[in-house]
Chains A and B, each alone.
Chain A
């Protein structure tokens, strides 16, 4: 029973991390119809920048703000100089190819700068140590991660569902031309959404580092899982990202505990089953 609760909590932790990633990916896709294959690279970059900052300034909280900001800045540059050249119908594949090329470059440069070994990051001292949950000792940091994830989900839900900006983003999902016809600078919206998406990935990287560590190859591992999450949950919706990350986060954690060699196979099987029953995902937009 004890192991079950621990695994369940670990599953929640991983789900929250996946949610932050999936929300970013889904946002970018919903707005620009682009699957950003460098999303995992942004995660890893955020994590490594966080690591360097912690080593430099010995302050985890600083990196929590700065790393996503820096990476978002990079995202803006990429959007402005590279992606923007390829807007327009029939270039969606080219955009995806571009992000793929970026992912290759990023993976190489990251390994060059931070090395090929596994790096671990300590949680901030304020969140170190363990707490009692149902008479079980569980790391405080991981618990706070769950809380953070839920808060972020709420914040994003409010932003997308209740604000004017959110309405613009949702409208952009169905008709970018219409939105710009209403006098809203669609280029700015695209840039902003892309920056937000990459910031979320970097944020996930920073908060995830004490749990998953950092190493070359993690970028792609987390990208694959995020892709599975959005396929299962349904592209373009926040609810889908949330449901999908819960399902996949749990499946991955329990899968690794029960059949370590086949964890990813198990996840793939889950995805296949979901796709057979509901091709547009659990909560996806019809016709995606």
Chain B
């Protein structure tokens, strides 16, 4: 472990000095990625990026604001279903348009509105109550999706989602290929990361941290904490919806599993294992949690148990996640 720490340390020192070169190599690798790997790894990368957006959105709520939502899949799945309704050719859907310029803002707005609705009730509570209400809300959406088959397609979900189209009129381009979709997801991931980073480092983001640390004191300072919590809830819901939109496009359908508690659990694990409140940690967590099942399932069917065990180990011994471990290591070295 110490040897690995040394290697990482040396690598980090070296990369800091040759910053520009390292950056250039990373950019080239990232851009060339679809053409140097097999389609299996390409699909995996797309999944990782989508879940990274999902995980970052939860981090804003859980890591920065301290609101433990156990039902974040509600917005993820909702985004997927909204997108499906807007674009799918299935007779259950509205099939209005497949143009991302319309669907993206529409879906994010729709998810944001539902978040506001749920937040009106959930945010009046805190701690344990909030946890339970978010859990129940997600399960409620799931049960509607699975039972109201005549509208939602039941356990089959909404199929027939096409690949997205971007542009207006004659300049419209269909992102038909997987390579093209990769670049789309990459671009949206980077945009999301940039936006969420700015929000986290803004005065608003610091207010969220203040609420996490000591809500009572924030109130004593004059902050209307309900409004800030609502802001965090809505923003994180919207970005979760964006992730759901991308997933639906990628898998050509929206499924009830997107709303199920195991999905909420997965993204929660990603945030915790990666490192809550860091925004970069959840990206790591997303990568780990998408790669792990893929590897583990070739050895055992019990990958969900393995995932749960890894999670528990982190909760017990490294609650600050991987980023937390790395930071602690760095502090020791100083």
Chain A residues in contact with chain B, CB under 8 A? 29, 33, 35, 37, 82, 85-86, 91-94, 96-98, 100-102, 104-105, 107-109, 112, 220-221, 224, 227-228, 230-231, 235, 260-265, 267-268, 271-272, 275-276, 279, 288
Contact = CB atoms under 8 A, between A and B. Distances in A.
A60 B233 CA distance: 48
Given A94-B315, A263-B143, 13 more contacts: A101-B315, A104-B265, A105-B304, A105-B308, A105-B312, A108-B308, A109-B302, A112-B301, A220-B261, A221-B139, A261-B144, A268-B136, A276-B121
Contacts of A279: 124-125
A231 B133 CA distance: 8
B267 to A, nearest CB: 12
A105 B128 contact: no
A33 B133 CA distance: 17
28 contacts: A33-B128, A37-B70, A86-B316, A91-B319, A92-B127, A94-B315, A96-B131, A97-B268, A97-B315, A100-B70, A100-B265, A100-B268, A101-B269, A101-B311, A104-B305, A105-B305, A105-B308, A107-B304, A227-B135, A228-B136, A231-B129, A235-B129, A261-B144, A262-B147, A268-B140, A272-B121, A275-B121, A275-B124
Interface in B156-206: none
Nearest to B129: A231
Interface of B: 68, 70, 121, 124-125, 127-129, 131-133, 135-137, 139-140, 143-144, 147-148, 261-262, 265, 268-269, 272, 301-302, 304-305, 307-309, 311-312, 315-316, 319
A264 B268 contact: no
A258 to B, nearest CB: 13
Contacts of B302: 108-109, 112
Contacts of B124: 275-276, 279
Given A35-B128, A104-B304, A261 B136 contact: no
Contact of A35 (B125, B131, B137, B305): B131
A231 B121 contact: no
Contacts of A105: 304-305, 308-309, 312
Contacts of A265: 140, 143-144
B121 A102 contact: no
Nearest to A235: B128
B308 A102 contact: yes
Nearest to A266: B140
A98 B128 contact: no
A150 to B, nearest CB: 26
B286 to A, nearest CB: 17
A224 B311 contact: no
A264 B70 contact: no
Contacts of A97: 268, 272, 311, 315
B121 A261 contact: no
Q: What 7 A-B pairs come out closest when comparing CB atoms?
A: A105-B308, A104-B308, A108-B304, A264-B143, A261-B148, A101-B312, A227-B132
A220 B139 contact: yes
Contacts of A260: 147
B304 A29 contact: no
Contacts of A104: 262, 265, 304-305, 307-308, 311
B229 to A, nearest CB: 15
Contacts of B319: 91, 94
Contacts of A268: 136-137, 140
Nearest to B128: A35
B132 A231 contact: yes
Given A220-B261, A275-B124, A98 B316 contact: yes
A224 B139 contact: yes
Given A93-B68, A101-B311, A108-B302, A262 B316 contact: no
Given A35-B132, A227-B136, A98 B143 contact: no
Contacts of A94: 315, 319
B150 to A, nearest CB: 8
Most interface-central of B124, B144, B269, B315 (chain A CB within 10 A): B315
Contacts of B305: 104-105, 108-109
Given A105-B305, A262-B144, A275-B121, A96 B68 contact: yes
Contacts of B131: 35, 96
Nearest to A227: B132
A83 B167 CA distance: 54
